[in-house]
A and B are shown apart, each in its own frame.
Chain A
Amino acid sequence: MLVLTRKSKESIMIGSDIEVTILSIEGDQVKLGISAPKEIDIHRKEIYLTIQNENQLALTQLSKQQLNQILSHLNDAGERNEER
């Protein structure tokens, strides 16, 4: 990993079109400003990891019959509402 030391208001360039600026440093919090081409996604890492993990959990191994059986409760709930 490349390690650079920067002060507040200083920047680094990643390639020619991504700029990361240290906006402020307060205690253990650093505020970053990021300028990047609009095609580039920028996320807090823990959010990206959460989505990755959730997608793994969401893989379904249900058969159509099993899924329909679970979803049949949805129809029951709907019918009960209709009867009211």
Chain B
Amino acid sequence: MLIQTSMFGEMTIEENDIILFPEGIPGFLEEKQFVIIPISEESPFLVLQSITSKEVTFVMINPFLFYPNYDITLPESAVSLLRLKKPEEALVYSIVVVKQPLNQSTVNLQAPIIIHPSEKLGKQVVLNDPRYQVKTPLILPQRKVSNG
């Protein structure tokens, strides 16, 4: 099917790529169907795009790449809604407020986007964990030095 996106223009997606957010997400409760689009093969940034509203576009990262100590426990409401049997089944993303320059950007570590890929279900989970903030400064990952 064809969808309109603010970042990539018109694009073709497979029905099978659509992830259902049964509750929408806070602030966008009517938006229930999204696709995840990598920005490029090598970029750690992805886009969460509503398939019905072109302008509902979020930039996300895999938080574990940027914050290696990030460690969350999903509340039972999320495990139940997403039909997760094992925690490893979940994909975890964090929404980024992108600013220029990039190091002014912030990452929402308090409310990660959790996806159960095989069930095509998603939910933004609000953690009750005082370690994680809504506006966490984006810390750019250090690439490993290849020649030691």
Q: Is the pairing of A and B real?
A: yes
Nearest CB of A to B32, in Å: 14
A4 within 8 A of B: no
Q: A54-B108, A58-B97 are in contact. Are A74 and B140 (CB under 8 A)?
A: yes
Q: Is the CB of A39 within 8 A of B8?
A: no
Complex CA–CA separation, A56 to B28 (angstroms)? 8
Which A residues are in CB contact (< 8 Å) with B57? 59-61
B95 within 8 A of A: yes
Q: Is the CB of B77 within 8 A of A51?
A: no
Q: Is the CB of A48 within 8 A of B59?
A: no
Contacts A71-B43, A81-B142 known; list 4 others, CB within 8 Å. A47-B128, A78-B140, A78-B143, A79-B143
Q: Is the CB of A54 within 8 A of B111?
A: yes
Which A residues are in CB contact (< 8 Å) with B72? none
Q: Is the CB of A68 within 8 A of B39?
A: yes
Which B residues are in CB contact (< 8 Å) with A64? 7-8, 39
Nearest CB of B to A32, in Å: 14
Number of interface residues of B (CB under 8 A): 45
B79, closest chain A residue (CB): A38
Q: Is the CB of B145 within 8 A of A61?
A: no
Per-residue CB contact flags for chain A residues 17-56 toward chain B (1 = under 8 Å, else 0) read 0000000000000000000001111010001101111111
Interface footprint category on A:
20 to 34
B-to-A contact residues, CB < 8 Å: 6-8, 25-28, 39-40, 43-45, 47, 55-59, 75-77, 80-81, 95-98, 100-103, 108, 110-111, 124, 126, 128, 134-135, 140-143, 145-146
A38, closest chain B residue (CB): B76
A12 within 8 A of B: no
Nearest CB of B to A48, in Å: 6
Q: Is the CB of A59 within 8 A of B26?
A: no
Complex CA–CA separation, A42 to B146 (angstroms)? 46
